[in-house]
Homo-oligomer: A and B are copies of this chain.
């Protein structure tokens, strides 16, 4: 039953039970880490064969991958990911590891050179602001903040960002130049954007002529169920709506092959791709094509990627299931927390009583359970409700996930009952 409906005595008893459980938890001296969305060693083992690839060095078109050149990346690698990322291969760019780097660099070039067809550089604007659907990805926020870009939070609902709010902001404020989007299995709450949301993002009038959607499709193929979520094709919808240059699509193999040794992708309109290639051509004499070839030999084709992701799912789906089972058992019906049940991606979003997320994270840390700092899911690390906690269950092995989530549930019960008693 909902704890807020308990009598004072019942609530006190629950609090005392939680205290005993918490003390016992601390006594165990755990050291568990649920902070970051990292693949586990067993997931990385799935790509072990890559450690002795590619063996050869010649691309399909005869290019010697060992030498300089080929700024757009290997054509055969781009062909594999074209459909998965919903970007025509000719408009897809394959780079070194880290899609975050590509996001960084597109912002740098917009700041220092301006975007195609727009005379003014962002650095010459009085102010540049990005919309940040919340909860969202802390590294997106940190990246924009590092360049002095103002972060404007926008609430998420279960179809994506609240489009009424988004449309209002971009229509009225010409300094709003971008929006961060993780459109599929969103970090951290697992929401996938509805077709209507994508359509409205593509079509909405914007006061800024150089407004860009930063479409971080980080979890394009990271399904947790047998029925993959499909999202609408942002580039096609932008083109159809007369805004062909609006979206920058990003993706990577960081959570497919090796998190530290993957390949990142950028896809957009022909004008945007030429723009980025032009600037990238001054920065480097080409990406690591050997790593591209390695990925081609290992993944082979689109079906190969999907089959490989099925093996990932076998390893991580039980962890997500365990989190849900334990939270349901420990907190279900108490009203002390709600949590997401994602169909893909890397995270679970746990919402606790308003004003108590920081305290829960702090209690968990004291018990040896490291969580992403409360607030990290919001711009400037400031969650006004202080209620959202991001859970990253992939990295620890299953028994550790179970231990950690059990412990976390105890912290939620303790902080929650204390809070209710304060209010009583």
- The interface of chain A, by Cβ under 8 A from chain B, is 36, 38-39, 41, 44, 47-48, 51-57, 64-70, 96-98, 100-101, 104-105, 108, 111-113, 123, 139, 142-143, 146-147, 254, 258-261, 279, 282-291
Contact present for A97 and B282 (CB under 8 Å): no
Given A104-B282, A112-B111, A260-B67, A288:B96 Cβ within 8 A: yes
Return A173 CB to nearest CB of chain B, in Å.
Answer: 23
Contact present for A260 and B70 (CB under 8 Å): yes
Q: How far is the CA of A283 from the CA of B111 in the complex (A)?
A: 15
Contact present for A38 and B68 (CB under 8 Å): yes
Return A299 CB to nearest CB of chain B, in Å.
Answer: 16
Given A51-B56, A51-B290, A259-B68, A112:B104 Cβ within 8 A: no
Contact present for B258 and A290 (CB under 8 Å): yes
Q: Which chain B residues border A285 with CB–CB below 8 Å?
A: 98, 100, 139, 254, 259-260
Contact present for B112 and A259 (CB under 8 Å): no
Contact present for B100 and A284 (CB under 8 Å): yes
Q: Which chain B residues border A51 with CB–CB below 8 Å?
A: 53-57, 290
Contact present for B65 and A146 (CB under 8 Å): no
- Contact with A254, one of B47, B68, B97 (Cβ below 8 angstroms): B68
Q: Which chain B residues border A259 with CB–CB below 8 Å?
A: 66-68, 285
Q: Which chain B residues border A70 with CB–CB below 8 Å?
A: 260
Tell which of A52, A64, A100, A254 has the most Cβ of chain B within 10 Å.
Answer: A64
Given A143-B282, A279-B146, A282-B146, A66:B101 Cβ within 8 A: no
Q: List 18 A-B contacts (CB under 8 A).
A: A44-B64, A51-B55, A65-B260, A66-B258, A68-B254, A96-B96, A97-B288, A98-B283, A98-B284, A98-B285, A98-B286, A101-B284, A104-B282, A139-B282, A143-B282, A146-B282, A260-B288, A288-B288
Return A102 CB to nearest CB of chain B, in Å.
Answer: 10
Return A59 CB to nearest CB of chain B, in Å.
Answer: 11
Contact present for A143 and B283 (CB under 8 Å): yes
Q: How far is the CA of A406 from the CA of B269 in the complex (A)?
A: 47
Q: Which chain B residues border A64 with CB–CB below 8 Å?
A: 41, 44
Return A294 CB to nearest CB of chain B, in Å.
Answer: 9
Contact present for B108 and A291 (CB under 8 Å): no
**Shortest Cβ distance from A70 into B: residue:** B260
Given A44-B64, A68-B38, A254-B68, A261:B283 Cβ within 8 A: no
Q: Which chain B residues border A113 with CB–CB below 8 Å?
A: 146
Q: How far is the CA of A296 from the CA of B181 in the complex (A)?
A: 39
Q: Which chain B residues border A47 with CB–CB below 8 Å?
A: 66
Contact present for A147 and B112 (CB under 8 Å): yes
Return A44 CB to nearest CB of chain B, in Å.
Answer: 4
Q: How far is the CA of A69 from the CA of B105 in the complex (A)?
A: 20
Q: How far is the CA of A146 from the CA of B284 in the complex (A)?
A: 13
Return A220 CB to nearest CB of chain B, in Å.
Answer: 18
Return A192 CB to nearest CB of chain B, in Å.
Answer: 24
- Contact with A123, one of B57, B112, B146 (Cβ below 8 angstroms): B112
Return A311 CB to nearest CB of chain B, in Å.
Answer: 15
Contact present for A69 and B260 (CB under 8 Å): yes
Q: How far is the CA of A291 from the CA of B261 in the complex (A)?
A: 8
Smallest CB-CB A-B distances: 9 pairs: A261-B290, A98-B284, A104-B283, A66-B258, A44-B66, A52-B52, A68-B259, A146-B282, A261-B288
